[in-house]
Structure 1
Amino acid sequence: MRLFGALMVLTGGMFLTSLFVGYAAIPLGDGMAALFGAGDPLFVTVMQDIRLPRTLLAAMVGASLGLAGAAMQGFLRNPLAEPGLIGVSGSAALGAVIALQTGFAATFLLALPLTALVFAGAAVGLILLLAGPRGSSLTLILAGIAVSAFAAALTSLTLNLSPNPYAASEIVFWMMGSVADRAMTHVWLALPIMALGWLALATLGRGLDALTLGEDAAEAMGISLSTLRLQLLFGTAAAVGAATAVAGAVGFVGLVVPHILRRFAHGQPSTLLWASALGGAAMVLAADLATRLILPDRDLKLGVVMALIGAPLFLHLIYKTRREIA
């Protein structure tokens, strides 16, 4: 309970700070009133149309990536596993790149995220086809790596053959990841799909706890591994696919957050699921705050900040783990 309370306070604090920190200085009282449509019309526009959707999306994306990372690590029993391992994020990015390159993204507001979602769903279908209905964890990993590599190759090919340098530039910047310049329309598009993913992943707790004893023991306890895997793939595709569709590629959250919180969850996957969701939300909110405070006059991307934070942190965790083993 103390872990839950601490993470709730941290995430809530980051959420409120994200709402009230920005280029335009808005007093706390005026900002709160503006959230409900009262007060200065300019403040209402800033709070409701700019900061609220940005903050909500940052929290949603972080929760999705953190939850999916914890579920993936628990199912594969591998602390190096992360949501991108099964190719969902790479395939969603490929869909978005194709939408930008063909000009489909310019036809209507939600063309890009919808295309990304379709490609994320197609990736899961392809993984199931390659891995088979009863394939092992190793087969799942290999299928995911193959799909991820193929999506990355096609993305590079699209950039290489792009005749329009402006489109190529737009693609590159989109792939860096960001929740800036998003509207509530993006929130309402992503939220129902993410919610389905959250529900699928959050209910994996009992199966993942049983799986820590081994596959044979889990099956003896009545856990269907094929059902568990299907639920994991569906939940990851929905949560991570929707996150990538609206925010672009944001890495390291699903890898680092479960690592940080695992010892506080006492290594119990069911506890780590919700803890990683809250921790992921707090981390992405903090990273998005950093994009506004560091070089505020430049368009610093969320994915870049997360890589700069996540990579050294992950290297530190590897070093610390190596010392503990030695």
Structure 2
Amino acid sequence: MSARRHPLLIPILIALTLLAALGSLTLGAVPLSPARIFAVVTGGGDEVARAILIDLRLPRMLLGLVVGAMLGLSGAALQGYLRNPLAEPSVLGASNAAALGAVCALYFGLSHIHPLILPVLAIATSFAAIGALFLLAGPSESPLTLILAGIAVATLAGAGIALSLNLSPNPFAAMEIMSWLMGSLENRSYAHVWMALPCVAIGAALLIADGRSLDALTLGEEGAQALGVDLRTARLRMMLGVAIGVGGAVAVSGAIGFVGLIVPHLVRPLTDRSPSAILIPSLLGGAALLTLADIGVRLIPTSNELKLGVLTALLGVPVFLVHLMRERRLW
């Protein structure tokens, strides 16, 4: 394994992820002294510090790690499977469909009945999108067919979101929908953590299990089949992993883009560039990147807290472009 990745890559990513998690707990709009934080950690502390750390920052930190890990991993898996350096979860329409489900919950007022209706509906529409993808792709095992079918599903979901905004009954509903579409981890609770965690765990397990198939696919579909890879089973694991994992993540965080695209490109130069060698580093890198970005939206002095999806795009695009210019001949 050490020959496939730089020996310090995983330890550095683990340390960065732990540092980001610690920063997410200790940094924020309300300053807390180390003494107050230590008192809460040891079981004491005042009620205000305990509420901020345990009830507000801890679930937010956990969701940052979980959602970021899923987005980074799914981006790496899709780039390997589709053999497309621009692939990310939205390529198969899973992210867009999950966003459409959440928008429907907001548009029809279902989210006001119970907070968990929004993530449940987002996950359900993500599954529906994958079902539609199977129907559109048919028996074909070609990555190109999947990309084209995914574009069709994503476009349909995007049209549904635009329609809901166009027909929104009042401006407040439209503002709520737009706010969710920009992505955020603000005001999330442990209920959201328990909603996302099982989905991400199942999705991540399915994608990591596809590592051998992803490596074989670098030889082409015929070469992979000659090595004994069942392409139909690999495709099923890939699409289910993306649908379950990304659907659960997007359901609680809103639409957060670019993490699944940029993280695999950042870790790839420190590996042998085989798809399976990038999976775990992308999982850790995604967790660290999204958690650090969430710290940033809290610390940037603005009248209203920046949306997480906006910051990841603003920071990610220039980094990605610089990295692309350096690595474009090595993909």
TM-score range, shorter chain: over 0.9
Q: Is the 8 A contact 1:35 1:48 kept in 2?
A: no
- Separation in 1, partners of 2:325, 2:149: 29
Pairing 1:105-254 to 2, within 5 Å after superposition: 105-254=111-260
* Distance of aligned partners of 1:13 and 1:220 in 2 relative to their CA distance in 1, 3 Å threshold: same
Match of residue 305, structure 1, among 293, 303, 311 = 311
SS at match of 1:263: helix
Q: Is the 8 A contact 2:141 2:235 kept in 1?
A: no
* Counterpart amino acid of residue 249 in structure 2: A
Partner of 2:3: none
Bigger shift: 40-49 or 188-197? 40-49
What is the Cα deviation at residue 154 of structure 1? 0.8
Deviations 1:70-103 (A, max 9, x none): 0000001111111110100101101111110100
Match of residue 55, structure 2, among 38, 49, 60 = 49
What is the Cα deviation at residue 297 of structure 1? 3.7
What is the Cα deviation at residue 36 of structure 1? 6.2
TM-score, with structure 1 as normaliser: 0.96
SS at match of 1:262: helix
What is the Cα deviation at residue 43 of structure 1? 1.4
- Separation in 2, partners of 1:81, 1:275: 17
- Find out whether 1:100 has 2:100 as its counterpart: no
- Separation in 2, partners of 1:14, 1:90: 28
- Find out whether 1:78 has 2:84 as its counterpart: yes
- Separation in 2, partners of 1:217, 1:106: 52
- Separation in 2, partners of 1:124, 1:226: 14
Moved over 3 A (4+): none
Deviations 1:232-257 (A, max 9, x none): 00111111111110000100011000
- Separation in 2, partners of 1:240, 1:150: 18
What is the Cα deviation at residue 140 of structure 1? 0.5
What is the Cα deviation at residue 29 of structure 1? 4.5
* Distance of aligned partners of 1:32 and 1:72 in 2 relative to their CA distance in 1, 3 Å threshold: farther
- Separation in 2, partners of 1:43, 1:124: 44
Bigger shift: 119-128 or 134-143? 134-143
What is the Cα deviation at residue 32 of structure 1? 4.3
Deviations 1:241-281 (A, max 9, x none): 11110000100011000011111122021120000000011
* Distance of aligned partners of 1:45 and 1:260 in 2 relative to their CA distance in 1, 3 Å threshold: same
* Counterpart amino acid of residue 255 in structure 1: L
* Counterpart amino acid of residue 303 in structure 1: G
Partner of 2:13: 7
What is the Cα deviation at residue 24 of structure 1? 1.9
Deviations 1:212-241 (A, max 9, x none): 122222112111111111100011111111
* Counterpart amino acid of residue 299 in structure 1: E
* Distance of aligned partners of 1:29 and 1:215 in 2 relative to their CA distance in 1, 3 Å threshold: farther
* Counterpart amino acid of residue 181 in structure 1: N
- Separation in 2, partners of 1:180, 1:136: 40
* Counterpart amino acid of residue 154 in structure 1: G
Which runs of no fewer than 5 residues in structure 2 stay unpaired? 1-6
- Separation in 2, partners of 1:63, 1:209: 21
Q: Is the 8 A contact 2:141 2:231 kept in 1?
A: no
Pairing 1:57-72 to 2, within 5 Å after superposition: 57-72=63-78
SS at match of 2:12: helix
CA RMSD of aligned residues (A): 1.4
Deviations 1:6-30 (A, max 9, x none): 1001111111111100122223353
Identity among equivalent positions (%) equals 50
Q: Is the 8 A contact 1:67 1:198 kept in 2?
A: yes
